[in-house]
Amino acid sequence: MFNKPISYKAPQFTESVIREMTRLAIQHGAINLSQGFPDFPAPEILKKAAADAIFADVNQYAITWGAKNFREAIAEKTKHFLGIAVDPEREITVCCGSTEGMLDVLLAVINPGDEVIVFEPFYENYGPDTIISGATPRYVQLRALDWSFDEAELAAAFNNNTKAIIINTPNNPTGKVFSRQELEAIARLCMKWDVLAVTDEIYEHILYDGAEHISPITLEGMRERTIVVNGMSKTYSVTGWRVGYILAPVGINGAIRKMHDFMTVGAPAPLQEAGTVALRLPDSYYSELAAHYTERRDVLLAALDAAGLQPFVPGGAYYIMCNIRPLCEQQGLANDVEFTRFLVKDVGVAAVPGSSFFREPSAGKDLIRFTFCKKPETLAAAAGRLATLRQTIGAKQFRG
């Protein structure tokens, strides 16, 4: 038997709660509105491009930091949407999803003692990312109802040890789209303290009610201190392809490419080829994407509202946070975990407990998150089940 201890890092974080909810959904035959992956087909044109690439024998390793034509497509799209010229030869690294991208970036820039600022609630990967990379996280609260932050609290989180701040806009789990004013406040602090902005912009095209995506890289003075992490998963509904990319200033990008190379060698070559087709789709693709998600959002918002789940209306991304406090109080349910277990088992809908987005579980005890990146019929079926919620909850008599 092997008796030496495993890495001290592994016990510091738990298995992903979101992926656990997916397993519970399968076990109980529930409709899975927990994990953010579409249950509808990927665009035909992309599936064909991927199949064509495989048949054309684009089947061996691509250049480790990304196939040249894919990097060129990324540079073109960045110029088109953000108005920023990035050098495909020196400022782009293609990786296995933005998940790898975020870790590559942190591994490339973090030294012992470095701090990284994270807004809370946060996308659950950022916690483990800081542990794996050896960064010390510092949390700044996004507060309901509008998920705004307190500028003084943010300013107090910066110090000489701060190496980076992670900004996810549009935001998972809150649906917040950071405003220009907010981003400028962050940018001023980044410049004052010589800090990198690492921005997760994976939901950049999923916006509602006229919300505008502003990438911090476009703000004055931020071009040289912003690292953009992005990918194909959400914009093109291909979460299983695992193709992401990083835009970073030349000096830092060299270090990022090394981390990436020795971690995964490269992203799937035929899917990068298909990515060149995806990233060159016309603007109408993106407006249709947003329009489709607006319809889905509205269907789920109405269902959640009717069920008494008090949804927060998202401005972007494809999640809805709900305040479950009134229902929990009424019914004697203790917290988000108890509520989501009841929901998945007795109502047949899977959601994510809010505590998985906070470092202190109690901070998320009144929140749960649903996703609506699902077929209209899936959402209609979920709405039907949610309509039975109050009745089921009443019949269970949690109050003993």
Ligand X SMILES: Cc1ncc(COP(=O)(O)O)c(C=O)c1O
Give the footprint of ligand X on this chain (CB under 6 A).
Answer: 36, 97-99, 123, 168, 172, 200, 202, 231, 233, 239, 244
Least Å distance between CB 400 and ligand X?
38
Least Å distance between CB 327 and ligand X?
26
- If DSSP codes are grouped into helix, strand and coil, which group holds residue 15? coil
Give the closest residue to 246 by CA, choosing from 198, 204, 286. 198
**In Å, what is the CA distance from 288 to each residue of 76, 177, 244, 281, 292?**
21, 19, 22, 12, 6
Chain center to CA of 211: 18
Least Å distance between CB 240 and ligand X?
9
Q: Which residue(s) pair with 349 in the sheet?
A: 31
Tell me which residue has its CB nearest to ligand X.
Answer: 97
Least Å distance between CB 161 and ligand X?
25
Contact 166, 116 (CB under 8 A): yes
Nearer to ligand X, 101 or 249 (CB): 101
Nearer to ligand X, 99 or 378 (CB): 99
Nearer to ligand X, 168 or 355 (CB): 168
What residues have CB less than 8 Å from 352, skipping those under 6 apart?
17, 18, 21, 34, 35, 173, 340, 368, 369, 370
Nearer to ligand X, 240 or 384 (CB): 240
Least Å distance between CB 231 and ligand X?
3
Least Å distance between CB 102 and ligand X?
7
Nearer to ligand X, 231 or 315 (CB): 231
Nearer to ligand X, 173 or 311 (CB): 173
Contact 216, 204 (CB under 8 A): no
**Gap between the Cα atoms of 176 and 178, Å rounded:** 6
